[in-house]
């Protein structure tokens, strides 16, 4: 059929006055272009038929994995094989089975077939990754890292295979050459290899999962992990910006993972106020009577008074000297008040540590640290709870005849000058 069409075209061109050589060349070029156009049309028709057939089959299916095959266009890759086969058989006929051109065409066809199967394989990997990612036990695992590494390895093998086809040489030769270039490969793919090592260590040690809240000051990351791939970890910060952190940096540098807080449903409050040291004193009877009127302190003061009295009597302490024996202090009572206040606060987790302690004195006064856990980990709610607690603490301090340390301001100096 091809020979008949070719001869007819040559004869018509000769009749039109075209030389034999140019009639032959124009006929070949025309037929080759026509074959390529026909191959493109065949490709479109096959793709349309595959889409129609598989779309109908998928609708009737009760499973969802076949939906993913259609969504990722897995079977569409096969559509490219038909035009390649068509060209492989028809072009040699047009070229009169010229040995050189047929050889080139055969190599090119094999390369295209390899590329088609590469596309097909990569799409299948995407489907597998999506299916595995839906499993509960794999939702927080760095699947992207492993599948990206698989694609890189497959790509290297396919590139070597294509080179062996084009050079008509055994693929083992290129594997040997590739092995000799190991040092260069390691240098080029250094970040990828380090990222893969980091991904394995992160996964094996369960250091980070998708959905974890992490903080890493070095990279300005503070938010939820949304993706873990071979070279980077994407963190969606609280201001909605995205920070990318090199995967290996999570192994080589320190970072904070707030997963424990999220799992317990509690968030730590650890903040200090600075007490002016000059306001710390023993409580006199009038001040103790005031303390007794505070509901959260009544039981504590009663118990403490009995304890102090009993100790001083048993040890025959001369209480005429204020430095002798045991006495109640305003800061000690204040600490007891804060502990009872936190233990009665509805937004504090009573199953975790509740502590009010003095830290080492500083030039700014004595730090009094409140250490507890709120039972609401939402950022806005947590900040509201913490602020309410310290609003109350700051407002109640004068009742204990204590004051906070505060560096003098310009207004303070103005008052002194007056």
Q: Which pLDDT tens digits describe the chain residue by residue (418 residues)?
A: 666 666 666 667 667 776 767 777 777 777 778 778 888 888 788 777 777 776 666 666 666 666 666 666 666 777 777 777 777 777 767 666 666 667 777 777 778 778 878 888 888 888 788 777 777 766 666 676 677 777 777 887 888 788 887 777 777 766 666 665 666 666 666 666 677 677 767 766 677 888 888 888 888 888 888 888 777 889 999 888 999 888 878 887 888 887 877 677 788 899 999 999 989 999 888 999 999 999 999 899 999 888 888 888 888 887 778 788 888 899 999 999 999 999 999 999 998 899 999 999 988 899 999 999 998 888 889 899 999 999 999 999 999 999 998 877 666 556 655 6
pLDDT at position 4 is: 64
CATH class of 265-281+329-418: alpha beta
Q: Where in the chain is the domain with CATH 3.30.70.100?
A: 265-281+329-418
Angle among Cα 321, 327, 331 to the nearest 5 degrees reads: 125
pLDDT at position 86 is: 76
What are the helix (H) ranges across 61-98? 65-71, 81-94
Domain 207-262 architecture: Roll (2.30)
Nearby residues of 131 by Cβ (< 8 Å), 6 or more positions away: 65, 68
Alpha carbon distances (Å) from 280 to 111, 174, 283, 316, 333: 86, 82, 9, 26, 11
Task: For 31-69, give the DSSP string.
Answer: HHHHHHHHHHHHHHHHHHHHHHHHHHHHHH-S-SHHHHH
This prediction's pTM = 0.51
Alpha-carbon span 112 to 125, nearest angstrom: 20
Q: Where in the chain is the domain with CATH 2.30.30.60?
A: 207-262
pLDDT at position 268 is: 87
pLDDT at position 223 is: 87
């Amino acid at each position: 059929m091809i020979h008949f069409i070719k001869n007819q075209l040559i004869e018509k061109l000769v009749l039109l006055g075209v030389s034999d050589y140019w009639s032959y060349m124009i006929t070949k070029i025309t037929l080759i272009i026509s074959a390529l156009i026909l191959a493109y049309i065949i490709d479109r028709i096959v793709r349309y038929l595959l889409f129609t057939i598989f779309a109908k089959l998928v609708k009737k299916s009760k499973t969802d994995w076949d939906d993913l095959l259609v969504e990722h266009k897995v079977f569409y890759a096969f559509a490219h094989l038909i035009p390649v086969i068509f060209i492989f058989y028809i072009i040699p006929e047009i070229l009169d089975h010229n040995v050189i051109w047929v050889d080139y065409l055969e190599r090119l066809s094999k390369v295209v077939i390899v590329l088609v199967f590469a596309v097909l394989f990569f799409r299948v990997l995407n489907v597998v990754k999506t299916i595995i990612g839906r499993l509960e036990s794999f939702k927080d695992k760095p699947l992207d890292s492993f599948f990206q590494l698989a694609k890189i390895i497959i790509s290297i093998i396919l590139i070597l295979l294509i080179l062996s086809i084009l050079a008509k040489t055994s693929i083992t030769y290129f594997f040997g050459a590739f092995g000799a270039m190991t040092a260069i490969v390691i240098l080029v793919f250094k970040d990828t290899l380090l990222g893969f090592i980091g991904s394995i260590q992160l996964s094996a040690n369960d250091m980070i999962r998708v959905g974890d809240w992490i903080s890493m000051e070095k990279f300005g990351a503070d938010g939820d992990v949304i993706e873990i791939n071979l070279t980077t970890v994407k963190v969606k910060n609280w201001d909605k910006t995205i920070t990318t952190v090199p995967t290996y940096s999570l192994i080589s540098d320190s970072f904070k993972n707030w997963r424990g807080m999220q799992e317990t449903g509690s968030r730590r409050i650890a903040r200090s106020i600075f007490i002016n040291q000059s306001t710390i004193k023993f409580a006199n009877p009038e001040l103790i009577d005031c303390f007794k009127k505070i509901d959260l302190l009544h039981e504590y003061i009663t118990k403490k008074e009995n304890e102090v009295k009993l100790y001083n009597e048993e040890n025959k302490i001369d209480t005429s000297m204020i430095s002798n024996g045991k006495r109640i202090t305003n800061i000690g009572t204040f600490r007891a008040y804060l502990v009872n206040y936190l233990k009665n606060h509805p937004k504090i987790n009573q199953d975790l540590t509740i502590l009010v302690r003095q830290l080492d004195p500083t030039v700014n006064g004595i730090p009094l640290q409140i250490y507890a856990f709120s039972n609401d980990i939402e950022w806005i709610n947590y900040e509201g709870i913490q602020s309410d607690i310290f609003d109350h603490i700051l407002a109640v301090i004068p009742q204990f005849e204590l004051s906070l340390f505060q560096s003098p301001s310009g207004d303070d100096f103005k008052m002194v000058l007056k």
